[in-house]
Structure 1
Amino acid sequence: MNQSKRLTDGALLTAIFMVLLLVAVFVPVLSIFAMFVLPVPFVIYASRYNWKPTLVMMVVAALLTTLFAVTFTLPIAILMGFGGLMIGSAIYQNVSAYETWARGTFGFIVGLLFVFVYTQVLLDINWIEEFEATLGESMQMSAELLEQFGVEGQQLEEASSLLEEQVGLLTDLFPVGLAIAGVVLAFISQWLSFKVINRIERKQLQFPPFRKLQFPVSVIWIYLVALVFSLMELDPDNILYLGTQNLLVITGLVMSLQGISFIFFYAHHKNISKAVPILSVVLIIIFAPLLYLVRILGIIDIGFRLRDRMTDNNEK
């Protein structure tokens, strides 16, 4: 009976995935929404039967996409399947929502790397070259705009040089872009999956309050190592330089998230209105330099466990 139900659920959810995939490809208006919903069938199946049966479902879905859809849909199936598998198996193992998010992020990053290799090898599409071309066009438009405003001569050369440096930096941080895309895909897919599973199976899956978000102390050491390497004079074309820059940005974002989370925790702990931390986030977005202060706050929170200290003092 269990085997029969497993096969039935697998066939039904695979069919749902195929319908969503066709909608994403051939219905432009709904394509963006469909892209975020695509991992949900895999999440549901993995949350019921763990990763091994889901891996079989992903292979079947990938084969069906090559038969009934277009060539570029195969990497989409792998991307959504692997990300959904990681989220669903984490739900099956009953781990925390944030750990589930981390596993889902890893799954989507692996899927994005597969898409990157697949499109470059088989479709002859180089993401980095396309990205550089797009940025180059934007830079050219910016230079022409500056000329229209009367900027010329040495000032124009300095501005163009600065724009070129920014383009080079953004290109070097391409891996960070992949990581951020994985984070966003995992969060939205997990949130939607929680809603669907709660509706279908009457569960109570949800993210804990943002104020409870805490990263391990090891993140600080990774950040410090990246910071030390960034102070060295490394060759910009060296893989160590690129790795250091990307790692520094990623860990910096993690520290910033920790700092923002602490602001929400502090407001809740002191019974301050929720409007205060929300306004703080708005100010951080508007005034980018504040992000460095928030990052320092995040480092202090992780390193000295400020929340635990505040909680312990309150109990005493």
Structure 2
Amino acid sequence: MKRTNALTEGAIMLALFTVLVFITLTVPLLGSITLLALPLPLIVYAGKHEFKNNILLAAASVPIVFLLGSVAGLSLSVPAALIGLIMGTLYRKRGSAAAVIGASFGFLLSILAGYMVSILFFQINPLQEFETIMKQSVDQAIGFLEMAGQKPEEEQITQMRTQMDQLFTIFPSILIGVSFFSAIILHAIASPILRRLKLKSDRLKPFRDWRLPQSIAWYYIAVMILSFIDFEKGSFMETAVTNLFTILLLLLVMQGLSFVFYYAFVKGISKGIPVLVVVFSLFFPFLLYPVQFLGIIDIGFRLRERITPKS
């Protein structure tokens, strides 16, 4: 009976997954919405059944989606199936926090796998192509300004090109950030559905209670010291140190913002105040430095423990 239920539910989820892939491929506007929801059928199934059944469902989805959408269908279904299996299994066994972390790795692995497939089978390097397009766009913009008699100064052009190079240097950090926030969004979609179906899905801690381990502060200091070393431009060490520094910086900023929300909660301050801090920090990046410093103090000196609630 149990096996029959697993097969029946698997067939239903497979049909739903196939429909979502079809919509994503054929309906442009609606497809952009369903794209992130693709793993949902497998999350629900994996949140209820054993790993062996989950693998069989994922394996069955590949030939069906291939017949439906060819290579384009596979490029969507394989990553979605992987993320769905990881997230659903971790919901069932480890809880929501582990599911979000696992989904982050799933998104990142899918992006990297797609990147490698593009290079190995299609001889196209997406990053290099994007970099070429961006540089051509900058050259065209400079050309238009020169034609209009408003040629920018050489220093401005150099600064623009330097910033572009830095953007491509921290591209791995950008991928990690995109993977994490994609996992958070997917959790926000999946968690209410799982709870409605009486499946395990505990709520994540409120953002104000997010706390990083104290070791993060020491890692940040160590990487900051390494950043003063003049590594060869474009070398592995320069790229590695720059990306580690960027990731740790973002983690400390997140810790600082978490402390702002915690302080507002403990002191009974309006929720709008910390929200404004986040908004202003996004629009005025120089504010991220004091927020980052606040994060370091919060981690290193246990600042939260020194705050007394409003009487």
Instruction: Report the Cα distance in structure 2 between the residues aligned to 1:293 and 1:182, rounded to whole angstroms.
Output: 26
Q: Which amino acid aligns with 2:278?
A: V
Q: Is the 8 A contact 1:24 1:32 kept in 2?
A: yes
Where does residue 70 of structure 1 map in the other structure? 70
Q: Is the 8 A contact 1:106 1:182 kept in 2?
A: yes
Where does residue 118 of structure 2 map in the other structure? 119
Instruction: Report the Cα distance in structure 1 between the residues aligned to 2:171 and 2:3, rounded to whole angstroms.
Output: 44
Q: Is the 8 A contact 1:259 1:297 kept in 2?
A: yes
Decide whether aligned partners of structure 1 residues 92 and 292 sit closer, same or farther in structure 2, where only a CA change above 3 A counts: same
Deviation at 1:3, TM superposition (A): 1.8
Where does residue 215 of structure 1 map in the other structure? 212
Q: Is the 8 A contact 1:75 1:114 kept in 2?
A: no
Q: Is the 8 A contact 1:50 1:92 kept in 2?
A: no
Worse overlay, 105-114 or 77-86: 77-86
Q: Is the 8 A contact 2:255 2:295 kept in 1?
A: yes
Where does residue 200 of structure 1 map in the other structure? 197
Worse overlay, 22-31 or 42-51: 42-51
Q: CA RMSD in A?
A: 2.2
Where does residue 49 of structure 1 map in the other structure? 49
1:1-316 mapped onto 2 (5 Å cutoff): 1-95=1-95, 97-147=96-146, 150-152=149-151, 155-201=152-198, 205-310=202-307
Q: Which amino acid aligns with 1:172?
A: T
Deviation at 1:50, TM superposition (A): 4.9
Q: Is the 8 A contact 1:79 1:115 kept in 2?
A: no
Q: Which amino acid aligns with 2:131?
A: E
Worse overlay, 54-63 or 160-169: 54-63
Decide whether aligned partners of structure 1 residues 187 and 162 sit closer, same or farther in structure 2, where only a CA change above 3 A counts: same
Decide whether aligned partners of structure 1 residues 82 and 308 sit closer, same or farther in structure 2, where only a CA change above 3 A counts: farther
Secondary structure at 2:229 match in 1 = coil
Worse overlay, 254-263 or 178-187: 178-187
Q: Which amino acid aligns with 1:35?
A: L
Residues 123-166 of structure 1 show CA distances to partners (whole Å, capped at 9, x for unaligned) of 333111122023123312432454366433xx533222222212
Q: Is the 8 A contact 1:58 1:77 kept in 2?
A: no
Q: Which amino acid aligns with 1:69?
A: G
Q: Is the 8 A contact 1:76 1:115 kept in 2?
A: no
Deviation at 1:51, TM superposition (A): 4.1
In structure 2, list runs of 5 or more residues that go unmatched.
none
Instruction: Report the Cα distance in structure 1 between the residues aligned to 2:28 and 2:111, rounded to whole angstroms.
Output: 21
Q: Is the 8 A contact 1:62 1:78 kept in 2?
A: yes
TM-score (ref. length: structure 2): 0.91
Q: Which amino acid aligns with 2:7?
A: L
Q: Is the 8 A contact 1:23 1:30 kept in 2?
A: yes
Taking only the aligned residue pairs, the percentage that are identical comes to: 29
Decide whether aligned partners of structure 1 residues 294 and 50 sit closer, same or farther in structure 2, where only a CA change above 3 A counts: farther
Worse overlay, 15-24 or 168-177: 168-177
In structure 1, list runs of 5 or more residues that go unmatched.
none
Decide whether aligned partners of structure 1 residues 52 and 163 sit closer, same or farther in structure 2, where only a CA change above 3 A counts: farther
Decide whether aligned partners of structure 1 residues 309 and 107 sit closer, same or farther in structure 2, where only a CA change above 3 A counts: farther
Instruction: Report the Cα distance in structure 1 between the residues aligned to 2:47 and 2:138, rounded to whole angstroms.
Output: 46
Residues 37-78 of structure 1 show CA distances to partners (whole Å, capped at 9, x for unaligned) of 101112112211254432332222223222221213323222
Q: Which amino acid aligns with 1:280?
A: V
Decide whether aligned partners of structure 1 residues 9 and 264 sit closer, same or farther in structure 2, where only a CA change above 3 A counts: same
Instruction: Report the Cα distance in structure 2 between the residues aligned to 1:240 and 1:82, rounded to whole angstroms.
Output: 31
- Aligned residue pairs total 310
Decide whether aligned partners of structure 1 residues 148 and 307 sit closer, same or farther in structure 2, where only a CA change above 3 A counts: farther
